[in-house]
Amino acid sequence: MTVKVDVIPELNLFITQATGKLSDQDLAQYQKSIPATPGYKPTLNTLFDARSVAENLVTPENLIRFSTSTPFDTSVKRAYVVSDEKASMLATVFGTTSSGDDKFFVSFQLDDACEWLGITLDDLNRSSIFKDSQ
């Protein structure tokens, strides 16, 4: 899996873009690297763009383990943008176990996720890594 991350402090936002195959090891390495990201704070809202993940190989057991040990507070808003029903279900499980029903949102559309977070697609242009390719 290839991952790009960025923080937009003025939006209180941690952005992740993931592409390729996603494995248990990939997810573990990604989660471990989050606190070292410049500008990281556990109170940042998150936008996880997984539309370009070609194959999700994360096991259910590890998905739950990772979701209960996330480096973000349970109070943050988490938006997941996915490309298919399986990814939607996995994001829903992750969101439910890492926060609560009113703190996460899963969508197939980036603009819907942005709206739920209270930002616009134009706001994402502040990120040096974000490119809406879909």
Tokens of 59: 């096991």
C-alpha 120/C-alpha 6 separation (Å) is 16
Q: Are 43 and 12 in contact (CB under 8 A)?
A: yes
Q: Would you list the domain boundaries of the chain?
A: 2-124
Q: What is the pLDDT of residues 14-39, one digit of tens each?
A: 999 999 999 999 989 999 999 999 99
State the pLDDT at residue 39.
96
DSSP 8-state symbol, 128 = S
* Global pTM value: 0.89
pLDDT digits 0-9 by tens, 46-92:
999 999 999 989 888 888 888 888 899 989 999 999 999 988 988 88
Residues in contact with 56: Cβ distance below 8 Å, sequence separation at least 6, in sequence order: 21, 22, 86, 87, 90
Question: Model confidence at 133, in pLDDT bands (50, 70, 90)?
Answer: very low
Note the helical H segments in 1-133: 24-33, 60-67, 85-98, 110-117, 121-124
What value, to the nearest 5°, has the Cα angle with vertex 20 and ends 15 and 25? Answer: 80
Write down the CATH number for the domain with range 2-124.
Answer: 3.40.50.10600
Report how far residue 18's alpha carbon sits from residue 5's, in angstroms, rounded to the nearest whole number: 9
